Amino acid sequence: MYSYSLQIQGMTCGGCAASVQRKLDALEDIVSCEVNFATETARIESQEALKPKQLIDWIRSFGFSVQTDHQRFQATDDRFDQASLDLILSTHPEVVSYQINSPLKTLDYTTLPDANDRDLQNQLTHQGLVKATHQDVAIDRTSTTDRTHVWISGILALPLVLQMIGMWFGSSWHLPVIIEWALATPIQFWLGYRFYQGAWAASKRGEANMDTLVALGTTVAYCYSLFQWATLGQDAIGHLYFEASAVVITLVLVGKAIEAKAKHSALESVAALFALKPKTVTCLRHAQEIELSIQELVSGDVLIIRSGERIAADGVIIKGDAEIDASAMTGESIPEYKVTGDSVISGTLVVNGTIR
């Protein structure tokens, strides 16, 4: 059984995640899959090995994209055998795409974020290449942009809301129609453009999602207000729904900003837990202690964890005893005493003792 994890980009609601999972389940090559909207990930299992590019092409055909990692290597001397490099990269199962630049003596390739490309990097090193130390890093400004859009939308919608609140107290004050239109239009077609994008993408898939609902509802309110204005002129004051479309979009943007902040905090906590896992581990193979990367471990390996080291994988103690600090996982501040036959959790710390 082969397992793959993908970071899917472009999902806007739980309906998008359900759509991706339904379409993945329908593929003959996939045994099972689980798509999580909160973490924007897809866990896929298959009987046969699948190429990353094939997985990405499937997701793209559904109208979404997959996050990839980019690596750059450059030659340190005159050795730069393009034919050999092309053969290495084209046959490596983890490579999604690559580009070789002979004049600059550089090569770039992309993989999935959790791909084990250590052997590939070793092959490139043997070819006389080194990993570039200064690479362009894409900065995710999505959260900052979302917050800015929320503030702009809120400021534009505020006058429309104030006149609506005034009606509750018997006030007949209304903004001029042209002012209402000027305040609502940028919210509808600039700040709300993402909903039209999402609705269009869903319609191409023959589906409807939350973006469809928001785009359809606010567009009807906006267009009906334009119709009232065109037919009644200034008499349309009090019979317009510009504030309805503006407030709906503003509230949805606020909700998405809160959701993004909560998701970011949760992912940071999960990342902090993953950071506790050691990058290398001492493994007992063929009666010899060897150091392996965490990606090289297989089920059934015997690990040796000494005092002061963290446990690299979930397992069962087969020899030794130790006091283990599991506070990062369980919240219990007092170390637990573990003996042969007890289960241990990845990321916990051996305070005292040695175990296998």
Q: Is the pLDDT of residue 285 over 70?
A: yes
For residue 327, with 0-12 CB atoms within 10 Å meaning exposed, 13-18 middle and 19 or more buried, which class applies? middle
Tell me the mean pLDDT in the region 303-313. Answer: 88
> What integer pLDDT is reported at residue 34 of this predicted model?
92
Selected from 3.40.140.10, 3.30.70.2750, 3.30.70.100, 3.40.50.300, the CATH number assigned to the domain covering 2-66 reads 3.30.70.100
For the chain, the average pLDDT equals 86
Cβ contact 348:310 at 8 Å: yes
Write down the pLDDT at residue 193.
93
Q: Express each pLDDT in 21-51 by its tens digit.
A: 999 998 988 988 999 888 888 999 888 888 8
pLDDT at 138 over 50: no
Element (H, E) at 111: strand 106-111
pLDDT for 229-263, tens place per residue? 999 988 888 888 999 999 999 999 999 888 888 87
**By the 8 A CB rule, do 352 and 307 touch?**
yes
pLDDT beyond 90 at 123: no
In the predicted structure, residue 350 carries a pLDDT above the cut 80: yes
Q: What pLDDT is attached to residue 150?
A: 93
pLDDT at 140 over 70: no
Q: How confident is the model at residue 133 (pLDDT cuts 50, 70, 90)?
A: low
Q: Which residue has the higher pLDDT, 200 or 238?
A: 200
Angstrom distance (rounded) from CA 58 to CA 65: 9
CA distance 33 to 24: 7
- Please report which confidence band the pLDDT of residue 142 belongs to, taking 50, 70 and 90 as the band edges: low
pLDDT at 91: 87
State pLDDT tens for residues 66-111: 988 888 888 877 777 888 888 888 888 888 888 888 888 888 999 8
The predicted pLDDT at position 327 comes to 82
Residues of the chain with pLDDT > 90, as a percent, come to 23
Q: According to the model, what pLDDT value does residue 141 have?
A: 55
**Residue 135 has what pLDDT?**
47
| Coil, strand or helix at 134 | coil
Q: What is the pTM of this model?
A: 0.64
Joined together, the tokens standing for residue 320 give: 């030794």
pLDDT for res 136? 44
**In the CATH scheme, what architecture does the domain 280-355 have?**
Distorted Sandwich (2.70)
Better-scored residue on pLDDT, 115 or 85: 85
Topology of the domain covering 69-131 = Alpha-Beta Plaits (3.30.70)
Pick from 45, 32, 39, 33: nearest CA to 14: 39
**How far is Cα 52 from Cα 96, in angstroms, rounded to an integer?**
6
